[in-house]
Amino acid sequence: MEIYFVRHGIAVERVNGLDNPERMLTKIGRKKTEKVASRLKELELQFDLVLTSPYTRAQQTAQIFIEAGLSQNLQICNQLSPEGNFIRWWEDWFESAQLANNSRLALVGHEPDLGRWAEILVWGESKDRIVLKKAGMIGVEVPITGSPVGRGQMFWLTPPRLLL
Amino acid sequence: MEIYFVRHGIAVERVNGLDNPERMLTKIGRKKTEKVASRLKELELQFDLVLTSPYTRAQQTAQIFIEAGLSQNLQICNQLSPEGNFIRWWEDWFESAQLANNSRLALVGHEPDLGRWAEILVWGESKDRIVLKKAGMIGVEVPITGSPVGRGQMFWLTPPRLLL
């Protein structure tokens, strides 16, 4: 099955260097993300499920994907937030989710986590070697049985400008 | 600086399972590669140099890049052929090439070598975890001083359909 890690679009700046779960997409961030989503639709990409970090900027990004018709299913997943441990969660969740062999999932979240998780799926460990821009995407194919750690194949890594 | 590994376009089939350095791009392979090249031009990508494997299908792919205006410099590099050892060659060549910090190179060659070399630059070793389709591309940023092995950052991986 295919997992697409999607970084949220451009959001308003931090205040005093502090992150805030409520930070929203800027007007430009929203527009760019909409263009990416509509290009993905043109490419006939369809997700069985979009899981998103609960942070506002991620939820807004996921919502744009839903509105573009890329999926009919959206769920919030706390393990995709900056404090989450997606990989551990995935191993449990996956057992019960019973996804089909050809499923496609979009996971909307944050850096540096998304790039690290992709590296862990593909190479078994993270070295922070993936550059994932805002509204950028990483595509990894993983087997649907057993742990996906170190068993993925990376087939997609796009800065958003490739999809505008 | 940025290195773009480019896999040659779709070529005519092997005969009796044997590879042949003279295999040429098919009509469809040529057309797809031309579309990719013209999209890269649209994205204002410009290469200081295109290095290509001496195999016909790679040279034709490189030539399409040149004709699309993506670079003015084309060189054949035997180390990009399926028997080549690009990484070792690179470490020597690089010293003498004196490339600028913001140089962009396109390296046209074959699988599984290109994916492996990209992995070696980025993660220090290859586990065959990158899927690189024909006319697909991998973008890796590497420092211009010292060995690039294990010091790259991957920022781009595209199946050709993203650029058609």
Residue type at position A32? K
Distance from CA of B115 to the nearest CA of A (A): 10
Q: Which of A68-72, A136-140, B143-147, B149-153 has the lowest mean pLDDT?
A: B143-147
Query: Does residue A69 contact residue A59 with C-beta atoms inside 8 Å?
Result: no
d(CA B34, CA B63): 10
Angle (CA) B25-A164-A52 rounded to 5° is 110
Please indicate whether, in this complex, the C-beta atoms of B154 and A130 are within 8 angstroms of each other: yes
Pick A34 or B94 by higher pLDDT.
A34
A47, HSE (Cβ side, Cα atoms, 13 Å): 29
Alpha-carbon distance of A120 to A115, in angstroms, equals 9
| CB-CB under 8 Å, A152 with B157 | no
Question: Which among B43, B131, B162 is the nearest to A153, CB-wise?
Answer: B131
C-alpha of A147 from chain center? 19
Report the 3 state secondary structure along B13-31: CCECCECCCCCCECHHHHH
- Judged by a CB distance cut-off of 8 A, whether residue A129 touches chain B is yes
Question: Which chain B residues contact residue A163 at CB under 8 A?
Answer: 162
Q: Nearest by CB to B122, from A129, A158, A163: name it.
A: A129
Q: Give dist(CA A51, CA A109) in Å, integer.
A: 9
Distances (CA, A) of B57 to A64, B8, B10, B33: 41, 6, 8, 11
Query: Residue B93 pLDDT more than 90?
Result: no
What tokens were used for B74? 């084309």
- Cβ of A130 within 8 Å of Cβ of B123? The answer is no
Q: For A61-98, how does the pLDDT look when each residue is reduced to its tens digit (9 = 90+)?
A: 999 999 999 999 999 999 999 989 988 888 788 777 77
pLDDT attached to residue B56: 97
Which residue in B127, B129, B157 is closest to A157 by CB distance? B157
**Spatial distance between the Cα atoms of B14 and B114, rounded to a whole number of angstroms:** 20
Among the listed residues B33, B84, B90, the one whose alpha carbon sits nearest the alpha carbon of residue B63: B33
- What is the tens place of the pLDDT at every residue in B14-55? 988 888 999 999 999 999 999 999 999 999 999 999 999 999
Would an 8 Å CB–CB cutoff place B158 in contact with chain A?
A: yes
Q: Which two tokens stand for residue B5?
A: 């590994």
Q: What is the pLDDT of residue B51?
A: 96
User: Which residues of A are less than 8 Å from B154 in CB distance?
Assistant: 129-131, 157
Q: How many CB pairs under 8 A join A and B?
A: 56
Give the list of residues 6+ apart from residue A120 with CB closer than 8 angstroms, or none. Answer: A87, A126, A149, A150
Which chain B residue is nearest to residue A39, measuring alpha carbons?
B162
Measured between beta carbons, the chain B residues lying within 8 angstroms of A111 are none
Q: Does A44 touch chain B (CB under 8 A)?
A: no
> What average pLDDT score do residues B90-98 get?
79
Dihedral, B127, A133, B155, A69 alpha carbons, nearest 10: 70
